[in-house]
Amino acid sequence: MSNRRFVVAIPRLFIATSAASVLSVFTPSTAQTPNKDVEVNSSAEAPNRLTAAAQVLLREWDGPYGGVPPWRLVNPPDFEAALVAAMALEIDDIDAITDNPARPSFENTILALEKSGQALDRLASMYYVHTSNLNVGPMPDIEATIEPKLTKHQDAITQNSKLFTRVKSVFEKGDADWTLAQQRLVEKIYKRFVRQGAQLEHAQKQRLSAINVELAGLFTQFSQNVLAEEQQKTVVENRSELDGLPESVIFGLAEKETPADSANDGSGTENGKTKWVILNTRSSMEPVLTYADNRNLREKVWRAYYGRCDNGDTHDNNAIISAILKLRAQRAALLGYATHAHWRLEPQMAKTPENAMQLMLSIWPKAVARVKEEVAAMQALADRSGDGITIQPWDYRYYAEKVRKTQYDLDFNEVKPYLQLEKLREGMMWAAGEAFGFEFQQVENVPVFHPDVRVWEVRRNHHVVGLWYFDPFARTGKRSGAWMTGYRDQSNMDSAVIPLVSNNSNFVKGQPGTPVLISWDDAVTLFHEFGHALHGLCSTCEYPSQSGTSVARDFVEFPSQLYESWLMTPEMLTKYAVHFETGQPLPAQLRQKIEDAARFNQGFATVEYMASALVDMKLHLAGDVKIDPDQFERATLAELGMPNEIVMRHRTPHFSHVFSGDSYSAGYYSYLWAEALTADAAEAFEETGSFYHKPTARRLYDAIFSVGDTVDPTEAFESFRKRALDPGALFRKRGFVTGDQ
């Protein structure tokens, strides 16, 4: 029952300049074992009854680097039978633990659990890559069928009375010779069982399992509805409607209809007809809202994006959300918690919803006040220009960009020619070498799941420590956003097992033979997600369920947010932010403008994020009541004093963080909690005068990046910072410090 980290593509946020997207990690324990409380599959259904193709999926990975995923052998229709067989195989592992006549010990119970279900771990890694990156053909139906089975599988192991009795015995007995990591591992596993209902009565376990299975189906429906809505398009047939947009963006939107072989430069002047397609995703929507002069187009694109899954049609998610909230509340009560929020936050750094709310509400009034200042500046500019409008949500980004140019003489379109995707990829690898001693070498002998994917061997001190997979481009069936995935966790139980990690993005391919240019926000996101990957690659833990990013939800974003800091360093920008035509580095005066404007528009960035975080928390503090999501959203925002010119970053009907699984439910506050740590940690480097200060970087590696969950996160942070957290750093970073603070 090792730690299984699978990802849902979920947009990231809350960085200095709004942004694209993120890691979302969740850890379903997909093990199942015979249990009087939960019906399970018999091991007789396992591999010998599978097709040869399905059997291939169950084999140990072979090839270099201790084995790698055999992507070329994957046939999606084989997933269901192979996953069912893998669950059955894990039954044997669990039976071996529960039937062991020896007294329960760390070795024969806890360690045995860490080693159980390895076939399922491997197979599920490949399955979840397909649900997130290649969700086409039969995959939606497979996902809808298999998710409830995996959930039932999880419940079967956590509700296994014989297994829990052994775990409890080891926990209560303890051992003075255990290492700190072993102590934490035993405690975490024991509490996981308790939190998942191991101590409930038989009827209660049955009800809990029924709730979890129903939720799994609802999560899948929600996710597939969002994915379907993201396939919707706004089609523009007159190029003049795109006035104001950068030429590189216009080219990326262009689609030639006929003839098929005619040239397409995005101009609409070649033979055949060109149309321009704006997808219903953040990466496609944000440039239009930021640069398009056509206000009607901005409003149309805005309404399509923020109205996703809220249109009363087959993809409407409101009824699904109501059902999810009610089931979560019932589950929390069954487990003895006041609300779902209390259940979710118990193992996090925040510990209680009250602590999370206290942090958010300390920031909220200052952010709202800043929004009023920002809107006043934008309205004044619009009035001076004679535009005759009152600022609306679809105007905010557009006029904010104009104010930025006025106040800071900064046009990010001037920056974009210096932001080549491949050069920045080289740069973030270089910075990882400077900070952590990593070396990257691209390799060709590793299978990939799509031609766009490339692989790098990662070395430290001349030893291979992992593989990094890079999947940068958008495609049909790939969820929007950017994220990190762990294909295999680092561990060192019987032998050293290196991690396999991936970064996935949704950049738009450019014209063949020309560099892909990305926005400043996208560059920040690129570094953020690579920070997650580094967190996995730096891991030096013994047990897989403690390694890499297997940490508290409100701590996991800290290393990745901190790694964004390296992008802005002069060393990085001088070496790797070079003009795609001239090769000249980003001018020093342009770097200074970016730095000067770092706190610009922080009212907008903070309020749109925190509105989502506060609604999330309040939804899950409401308890077992019937909730109309739209009405609740409106009432909550009105109560909070939400500015009319801004909408939630993730409106409730498409809030995938919260309703595509339990992972971030009542936990969207985590980005803010982690940023408090990030702001203080960044000051540790600033105090030395450089983010390349070797002793500080070494301390960061030793105290944070390499230890996983073997150390309490608060203690880990204090070990790095050599003192307790200074919450004032967050206010300083956001520019919300006033004279009385």
Asked whether the predicted pLDDT for residue 481 surpasses 90, the reply is no
Q: Per mean pLDDT, which range of 28-42, 310-324, 632-646 is the poorest?
A: 28-42
Residue 14, pLDDT score? 27
Separation CA 260–CA 311 (nearest Å): 35
Q: Is the dihedral of CA 596, 523, 281, 4 positive or negative?
A: negative
What average pLDDT score do residues 480-509 get?
94
Backbone phi and psi for residue 137, each to the nearest 5 degrees, phi listed first: 60, -125
Q: How many residues does the chain have?
A: 741
This prediction's pTM: 0.91
Residue 40, pLDDT score? 38
Asked whether the predicted pLDDT for residue 37 surpasses 50, the reply is no
What average pLDDT score do residues 404-425 get?
95
Asked whether the predicted pLDDT for residue 741 surpasses 80, the reply is no
β-pair partners for 686? none
Q: Which helix or strand (DSSP H or E) is residue 70 part of? A: none
Q: Per-residue pLDDT tens for 284-300?
A: 899 999 999 999 999 99
Residue 273, pLDDT score? 80
β-pair partners for 18? 15
What average pLDDT score do residues 452-474 get?
97
Q: Per-residue pLDDT tens for 224-254?
A: 999 999 989 999 999 999 999 998 889 888 8
Quote the crossing angle between the two packed helices 318-334 and 202-230, to the nearest 10°: 150
Residue 44, pLDDT score? 43
Asked whether the predicted pLDDT for residue 13 surpasses 50, the reply is no
Q: Is-contact 466 458, C-beta < 8 A?
A: yes
> Which residues are catalytic, by number?
529
What average pLDDT score do residues 171-180 get?
96
Asked whether the predicted pLDDT for residue 136 surpasses 80, the reply is yes
Q: Is-contact 564 552, C-beta < 8 A?
A: no
Q: What percentage of residues in the chain have a pLDDT greater than 70?
A: 91
Q: What percentage of residues in the chain have a pLDDT greater than 90?
A: 83
Q: Per mean pLDDT, which range of 45-59, 74-88, 301-315, 657-671 is the poorest?
A: 45-59
Q: Are strands 483-488 and 500-507 parallel, antiparallel or unpaired?
A: antiparallel
- Nearest C-alpha neighbor of 507 from the set 456, 458, 470: 470
Of 304 and 261, the one with more pLDDT = 304
User: With bands split at pLDDT 50, 70 and 90, how would you rate the model's confidence at 7?
Assistant: very low
Pinpoint the alpha helices (H) of 550-628: 553-563, 570-576, 588-596, 602-621
Q: Per mean pLDDT, which range of 94-98, 154-158, 278-282 is the poorest?
A: 278-282
Separation CA 500–CA 738 (nearest Å): 45
Backbone phi and psi for residue 208, each to the nearest 5 degrees, phi listed first: -60, -45
User: With bands split at pLDDT 50, 70 and 90, how would you rate the model's confidence at 49?
Assistant: low
Residue 336, pLDDT score? 97
Q: Is-contact 545 516, C-beta < 8 A?
A: no
**DSSP for residue 716:** H
Q: Per mean pLDDT, which range of 437-451, 471-485, 697-711 is the poorest?
A: 471-485
Asked whether the predicted pLDDT for residue 398 surpasses 90, the reply is yes
Q: Per-residue pLDDT tens for 254-272?
A: 886 655 444 444 544 445 6
Residue 59 in 3-state DSSP? coil
Residue 623, pLDDT score? 94
AA letter at 633? E
Residue 256, pLDDT score? 64
Domains of the chain are 6-229 (1.10.1370.40), 232-306 (no CATH)
Asked whether the predicted pLDDT for residue 174 surpasses 70, the reply is yes
Mean pLDDT of the chain: 90
Separation CA 468–CA 48 (nearest Å): 34
Q: Are strands 491-492 and 496-497 parallel, antiparallel or unpaired?
A: antiparallel
Residue 547 in 3-state DSSP? coil
User: With bands split at pLDDT 50, 70 and 90, how would you rate the model's confidence at 738?
Assistant: low
Asked whether the predicted pLDDT for residue 429 surpasses 80, the reply is yes
Asked whether the predicted pLDDT for residue 30 surpasses 50, the reply is no
Asked whether the predicted pLDDT for residue 59 surpasses 80, the reply is yes
Q: Is the dihedral of CA 340, 343, 346, 347 positive or negative?
A: negative
Residue 272, pLDDT score? 65
